[in-house]
Amino acid sequence: MKYKKLAEVYEDLTSTTKRLEKTDILSKFLKKVPKKDEDVMYLLLGSVFPEYSEKRIGISNRLAIQAMSKATGLQKKEVVKLWKKIGDLGKVAEELAKNKKQSTLSSGKKLTTQKVIENVKKLPEIEGKGSVSRKISLITELLTNAEPIEAKYIIRTLIGDLRIGVGESTIRDAMADAFFKNKKEVAKKIQRALDRTNDIGLVFQMAKKGKVKDLEAVGIEVGKPLKVMLAQKADSIKQGFEKVGKPCAIEYKYDGFRMLIHKKGKKLTLFTRRLENVTKQFPEVVDYIDKYVKGKEFILDSEAVGWDRQTKQYKPFQKISQRIRRKYDIEKLQKKLPVEINVFDILYYNGKSQIDEPYKKRTKLLRKIIKKHPYKIIPSKKIVTDNGKKAKKFFKKALKDNQEGIMMKNLNAKYQPGKRVGHMLKIKPEERDLDLVITGAEYGTGKRSGWMSSFVLSCKGKKKGEFLEIGKVGTGIKEKKAGKSGGISFGELTEKLQPYVIEEKGKKVKIKPKVVVSVTYQEIQHSPNYNSGWALRFPRFTAIRPDKPVKEIANLKEIEKDFKDQKRNWRYG
């Protein structure tokens, strides 16, 4: 189909923020999309690949600018200048295409969605020598044939920032509306099929046929990643019991990363929570599964946790995170940063889906098939209790073992892929706060263009007048003027900081340490990313502190002390 039709729909979708209106626009559009053009669904979600695919388009702003410069004959720095002014690379592409139209004649070829998909799909495949210029030619080919509105969305798709305010759930509702009568009921079935296949194109084809039965028949498939079940939050153990019922299972909330383990005959595949295939990166896990888990075919849900060979202590996630992306020296890294697999669920076993079985049955099964090998693979640590004291003791034990907290789970609940459920709750220690000073910022894009949108936080160093970076904060700040409700908006904070800007580089600025802010955070961690050597985990802006002089902000010593204290002082509720 013509790409312009899709671009016009994108444009219509940005013209409203109301979800029902968006659903309506999409529903009308979906009726017109032919069944064979299922990949238009991926484009609607800002990609050209189904979600289960590990491929990402991954074009940087820099590369997009290079391609725009080549397509228009304009110098790169001119494009950057425009970008700074407009704040949205998509809009820059649109402007440039408008001007190009006046000066040169485009080839007159009309872009189709197939052509866009074809070129964009090739991008992640290109590697090695000359890859940059080959990528640029593929993009330029699209841009030179694009009308302004098309250029805008091509660039936005490439840089992964479509900004039409449409997610999977809106498309799901639009499909139900377009192809079925009983919309509400069918929307649930469509969602179920999406959670199991992670392929919105495939589900679109099924929905377009209008047969509810096809949607119902979608099962889970070993080897194909499916979305994990997510937990809601509880503030205390008491609240946890109220929500999941007594007795319940309490497990360690491990500080690692989610790993789904699929085994089909000899073939083993490991996926992350984001559905990335990480099998190559974790050869030892493949080996543990082969040796210590019984069964021909299964899907296990687990958390991979790093540990220290010398001390045998567990390590925080960020210490092993590099293993996920590492493509070379895998063996070396595996020796340096070993992981232990903590299995907490089983979704499929020897020809039978387990997701509709109750939790207690599933976990019993996984305990039966796993041969426990600490520091290699174990069923997750758990107790079943209705006793608050025992639960608190277990929470403390989890923290002492360097884990994040606990999970409380209803004993009879099903496994619901892709859902954030109220029958599995996470409890972490309370947040803490610090006063820090802003020493840098980065200008935002889109809605936030013209405003600083991410702020560098610093504490005092050991030397006089020294400030050391400890993190970046972008949450807790409002989009619009805060007014009586309190807080501060990006616009207001930008105005406050602008007089203190001392250096500008692209979108980044350095700022004199003048504006003191309070932030909450969950944890302090060692970090090579900031010159203080520390990083705040989940920092959140809470207030501007005009009442606090810069000399009273936190210093490095206090940060170090906070780090040491944090596990000791956590409250358990």
For ligand AMP, give the closer residue by CB, 423 or 507: 423
What backbone phi and psi angles, to 5 degrees, belong to 461?
-85, -170
22, 135, 152, 253: which one is catalytic?
253
Out of 258, 390, 432, 537, the residue judged to bind ligand AMP by CB under 6 A: 258
Nearer to ligand AMP, 407 or 459 (CB): 407
CB of 252 to ligand AMP, least distance (A): 6
Comparison of 5 and 273: residue with beta carbon closer to ligand AMP: 273
CB of 405 to ligand AMP, least distance (A): 9
Binding segment (CB under 6 A) for ligand AMP, from list 74-82, 186-194, 246-254, 317-325: 246-254
Q: Could you tell me which stretch among 137-145, 251-259, 281-289, 513-521 binds ligand AMP (CB under 6 A)?
A: 251-259
Task: Tell the smallest beta-carbon distance from residue 366 to ligand AMP (Å).
Answer: 12
Q: How many residues bind ligand AMP (CB under 6 A)?
A: 13
Mask: binding to ligand AMP, 356-395, rule CB under 6 A, as x and -? ------------------------x---------------
Q: Which of 10, 204, 254, 455 binds ligand AMP (CB under 6 A)?
A: 254
Q: How far is the CB of 416 from ligand AMP (least distance, A)?
A: 13
- The total number of residues shown for the chain amounts to 573
Q: Which of 231, 260, 370, 436 binds ligand AMP (CB under 6 A)?
A: 231
Instruction: Compute the distance between CA of residue 18 and CA of residue 448 in angstroms, rounded to an integer.
Output: 20
Q: E-assigned strands of 449-548? A: 452-460, 467-473, 501-505, 508-511, 516-521, 523-526, 534-537, 540-544
* Residue 344 contacts ligand AMP per CB under 6 A: yes
Tracing tokens 């929905």 back to the chain, one arrives at: 207
**Least CB distance to ligand AMP at residue 519 (A):** 19
Q: From CA 280, how far away is CA 215, in angstroms rounded?
A: 33
- Selection from 472, 440, 441, 469 nearest residue 533 by Cα: 469
Minimum distance, C-beta of residue 396 to ligand AMP, in the bound complex (Å): 16
Which of the ranges 105-113, 252-260, 276-284, 551-559 carries the binding residues for ligand AMP, by CB under 6 A? 252-260
Residue 196 interacting with ligand AMP (CB under 6 A): no
251 binds ligand AMP (CB under 6 A): yes
Sign of the CA dihedral running 293, 299, 301, 303: positive
Contact 392, 572 (CB under 8 A): yes
Looking at the Cβ atoms of 344 and 467, the one nearer to ligand AMP is 344
Binding to ligand AMP by CB under 6 A, coded x per residue (else -) over 506-525, reads: --------------------
- DSSP letter (8 states) at residue 232: E
DSSP string, 246-311: SSEEEEEE-SSEEEEEEEETTEEEEE-TT--B-TTT-HHHHHHHHHHB--SEEEEEEEEEEB-TTT
Q: 228: buried, middle or exposed (CB in 10 Å: 19+, 13-18, 0-12)?
A: buried
120: part of which helix (H) or strand (E)?
helix 113-122
Site string for ligand AMP, 286-315 (x = CB under 6 A): -----------------x------------
Which residue, 135 or 253, is less far from ligand AMP as judged by CB? 253
**Active site annotation includes 188:** no
Beta-bridged to residue 424, according to DSSP, are 409
- Of 30 and 366, CB closest to ligand AMP: 366
* Burial class (CB within 10 angstroms; exposed 0-12, middle 13-18, buried 19+) of 129: exposed
28 binds ligand AMP (CB under 6 A): no
Restricting to residues 125-164, name those near ligand AMP by CB under 6 A: none
Q: Which residue in the shown chain puts its C-beta closest to ligand AMP? A: 258
Bridge partners for 293 per DSSP: 370
Minimal distance, residue 244 CB to ligand AMP, in Å? 13
Closest to ligand AMP by CB, 272 or 532: 272
Helices within 159-255 (DSSP H only): 168-179, 183-197, 200-209, 212-216, 237-244
DSSP string, 19-35: HHHHHHHHHHHHHHS-G
Q: What are the φ/ψ torsions at residue 285 (nearest 5 degrees)?
A: -65, -40
| Region binding ligand AMP by CB under 6 A among candidate stretches 73-81, 186-194, 245-253, 542-550 | 245-253
C-beta of 44 vs 231, nearer to ligand AMP = 231
Is 253 a binding residue for ligand AMP by CB under 6 A? The answer is yes
Q: How far is it, in rounded angstroms, from Cα 67 to Cα 79?
A: 10
Binding to ligand AMP in span 404-463, by CB under 6 A: 407, 426
- Contact partners, residue 248, CB within 8 Å, separation at least 6: 240, 241, 384, 385, 386, 408, 409, 410, 411
Alpha carbon separation from 203 to 157, 410, 445 (Å, rounded) = 22, 31, 33
**Smallest distance from ligand AMP to CB 426, Å:** 5
Minimum CB distance to ligand AMP smaller for 192 or for 253: 253
Measured from the CB atom, the residue of 252 and 541 that comes closer to ligand AMP is 252
Minimum CB–partner distance for residue 559 and ligand AMP (Å) = 23
Cα separation of 119 and 84, whole Å?
28
CA 206 – CA 224 distance, rounded (Å): 18
| Smallest gap from residue 423 Cβ to ligand AMP (A) | 12
Closer of 233 and 335 to ligand AMP (Cβ): 233
**Contact range with ligand AMP by CB under 6 A, out of 49-57, 248-256, 323-331, 549-557:** 248-256
Alpha-carbon torsion (383, 384, 390, 392), positive or negative:
positive
Shortest spacing between CB 21 and ligand AMP, in angstroms: 31
Alpha-carbon distance of 452 to 510, in angstroms, equals 11
Which residues of this chain interact with ligand AMP, rule CB under 6 A? Answer: 230-231, 251-254, 258, 273, 303, 344, 380, 407, 426
Which residues are known catalytic residues?
A: 253
